[in-house]
Chain A
Amino acid sequence: MRERFWRKSIPYLFLLPQLILVGAFALYPFIYNIILSFQKFSLTGSKFVGLQNYRELFQDRIFWTTLKNTLHYTLGTVPLTTLLALLAAIGLNQKIRGRAIYRTAYLFPNLISWVVIGLIWQWMYSVDYGFFNQILRRLGFSEVKWLLNPKLTIPSIVVASVWHDLGYYMVILLAGLQSISESYYEAASIDGANTWQKFKSITLPLLRPMLFIVFVLSMINSFKVFDQIYVMTNGGPGRASLMIVNYIISVALEEMKLGYASTISVILFIVIFVLTIIQKMIFKDKELEG
């Protein structure tokens, strides 16, 4: 009896440290954040205000601007990162000379802090000193205000983000590619399949779980984007690149509206949660179709 009890308990004991950490640093703050979203704070205290913060949110034009900006950024980042990471993973899965060096080179930007990378890219985009404008000038074109033209600000940040994140997602997809048995490809070759047919009928279906992970992770990270915006534009010009998380920080720490900032966080969570469920359903349907 006792032996059976211990045998059943051992997995939970192994899980306990992680459960404590998740509980203390994720679950408790998450629940507390929901409680805060019904309160109003000042420098001296807080009071319960019911749904007032939620009502205020729907009339807050800045919130809708940040939501639009964040969606714009996500739509730019997620497909581009996934596609380029997939291409890089396929390329680096081939037997080429210096493969390890290339893999490290792709991963390297991901190991550097966004503060450093943000400053480097801000310099590269500089109107007067920037690398890109130097090239344009040499080629006889007029300079471009990469970060100052509101239409180009988010696309410019997307490029920097894709460059930074590419290696990370490439490693995930590479692991997926390496788990696909060579025998499938050999069998397909015997059947006369060409490269595209092999990719379409073997690689893509078997890589789908990894692609789902990459899609979900990059989407969540895109909605949580903060560092690069903070360093490169601080949400400007005006509010052209102000994202939800930057707005949450500004509302919480500059305006001291902690309750309202928590409300925006709750809405951000709901948006990400719903989109993840939709993605899960899409990928599940495809699996069934497959």
Chain B
Amino acid sequence: MRKKICTLIGLLLVVSLSLMPVFAAPKKITLSVVYYYTSEAARNVMDKIFSEYEAANPNINLEIQVTTQAKWPEVMKTRAVAGQLPDVSLTVPQRVGEWAEAGLLQDGTKYIPKNVLEKFDPVRCLSDRYDGKIYGLPANTTVRAVAYNVDYFKKAGIQVPTKASEAWTWGEMVAAAKKAQAASGAKYALQFEKPSFDGWLPFLYQAGGALFSKDMTKVAINSPQTRRALEWTVKLHEEGIAAPGIFEGTEDPLRTFASGLSTMWLGTGNWMMAALDPQMQHEYSFTFLPKDIQQATVVGGGDWIVLKGKYPKEAWDFVLFVLNQENMARYNSVHISIPPRSDVHAEYSVKPELAPFFMEQSRMVPEELMAHQLLPAYAAGRDKLLQELGACVSGQQSVDETIKAWEQILNDNLKK
């Protein structure tokens, strides 16, 4: 009897032990995520999306690192050297190529359903494509335009262009800004965007200049068109038409415009409205970037990329969750940007009436500008290009010296 009982207990033990893996809770996976936000509202939405993702995927735990857009390269490169890259990250379109080129990104071809990929704007997705593979998906699209002080322009009786085809020329725009300045008593007629070379790129391409040749094998920045764009920029500063300290980062462009010190803010865009709206002391609106020999703007935004790691499927699932219809609409609504999915409509939380305007401005991206700004040779040199621009605007070096320095920087990067 005792023998039978012992055999029975033994059998029960063997059966229960062999069934343990079947009934045991699945092993929890940790996905490491690096992202940044531009406003508290955007952060709140992202936090909510992350919580909902964890609730929907109880076996996945998100480990979030928040950084700033400016600090992103530093954070990611430090993590790369330490061998601790995250699984997923938000970045700017210009950065994707550099990371894809280094072979650190995870191809999403087999993880992104075809019917989902078709919904994404193919032009906007160019930033995530490299060597026939897709390494990320866009979360939002931002567009550079011109913010202007409505009160000042009304005082001066100036009508701003309401259609892209009616966009001012450089001369018309400066004349309008000067007239608004005279009527309002503003200290500066206009201001550039911020310490950013991306913010200056539209003017280079408006003048017919380019960073690279059409086939993107040579540097083409040393041209009469570049000289024209740069001389125009320097002259605006020398004559006190443009607010000082913006390219150099010693003056806050948001404060300069919001307080009414300047009548126009060139190269800022839809994403800035969330910060501008509560601080603006006057009525404001947007108009089109000017044209020289052509119209040009730069589109940017954020792209979610997946890095090579232990859980590529889960990482791509996470990206697809963050960029599903509902979440993309919520994010773009608070971020005040254009959703890059054709089946998503986002109601801007600030000035919703400007949404069609930004859509129209976003179509003014020259094809080659779009391609050039995505080249790693440009992304890796943006900070140095900006330093040279700052040196030229502050009178430390001539226009020719600056263009030669730009050519050298881009050539060095292209060779790499």
Contacts and interface: CB of A to CB of B under 8 A. Distances in A.
A55 B394 CA distance: 31
26 contacts: A44-B80, A44-B102, A44-B103, A44-B104, A127-B251, A128-B251, A128-B261, A129-B255, A147-B248, A150-B395, A233-B249, A236-B248, A236-B387, A236-B394, A237-B247, A237-B248, A237-B391, A237-B396, A238-B388, A238-B397, A239-B396, A240-B394, A253-B73, A253-B74, A253-B78, A258-B81
Contact of B244 (A44, A148, A232, A240): A148
Contact of B394 (A43, A122, A128, A148): A148
Contacts of A122: 250
B393 interface: yes
For the complex, would chain B's binding face be called helix, strand, loop or mixed by DSSP majority? loop
A236 B78 contact: no
Given A236-B387, A239-B396, 15 more contacts: A42-B102, A43-B102, A44-B80, A125-B250, A126-B250, A148-B244, A150-B395, A233-B250, A234-B249, A235-B387, A236-B195, A238-B394, A239-B391, A240-B394, A253-B73
A52 interface: no
Interface string B237-281: 000000111011111000110000100000000000000000000
Contacts of B394: 148-150, 236-238, 240
Given A43-B99, A238-B388, A238-B390, A127 B396 contact: no
A41 B81 CA distance: 9
Given A44-B103, A128-B256, A236 B249 contact: yes
Residue among B247, B251, B397 with the highest chain A CB neighbour number at 10 A: B251
Given A128-B256, A236-B390, A240-B396, A147 B250 contact: yes
A279 B244 CA distance: 42
8 residue pairs, one from A and one from B, having the closest CB atoms? A238-B391, A237-B394, A43-B102, A236-B248, A237-B248, A253-B74, A147-B250, A238-B390
Contacts of A232: 250
Residue among A43, A233, A235, A253 with the highest chain B CB neighbour number at 10 A: A43
A250 B77 CA distance: 12
A250 to B, nearest CB: 7
B380 interface: yes
Nearest to B104: A43
Interface in A133-155: 145, 147-150
B383 interface: yes
B245 A147 contact: yes
A118 to B, nearest CB: 11
A225 interface: no
A43 B256 CA distance: 39
Interface string A12-55: 00000000000000000000000000000111100000000000
A43 B250 contact: no
Contacts of B383: 250, 254
Interface of B: 73-74, 77-78, 80-81, 99, 102-104, 187, 195, 243-245, 247-251, 255-256, 261, 380, 383, 387-388, 390-397
For the complex, would chain A's binding face be called helix, strand, loop or mixed by DSSP majority? loop
B187 to A, nearest CB: 7
Nearest to B71: A253
Residue among B81, B99, B248 with the highest chain A CB neighbour number at 10 A: B248
A106 B396 CA distance: 37
A70 B265 CA distance: 35
Nearest to A256: B77
Given A43-B77, A238-B396, A254-B74, A148 B250 contact: yes
A239 B392 CA distance: 10
A151 to B, nearest CB: 10
A44 B105 CA distance: 12
Given A232-B250, A254-B383, A238 B73 contact: no
A243 B394 CA distance: 18
B250 A150 contact: no
Nearest to A240: B396
A128 B256 CA distance: 9
Residue among B243, B250, B387, B396 with the highest chain A CB neighbour number at 10 A: B250
Nearest to B261: A128
Nearest to B405: A61
A42 B187 CA distance: 47
A287 interface: no
B104 A150 contact: no
Contacts of B77: 43, 253, 256
Contacts of A150: 394-396
B104 A237 contact: no
A186 interface: no
B81 A233 contact: no
Contacts of B255: 129
A126 B249 CA distance: 11
Nearest to B391: A238
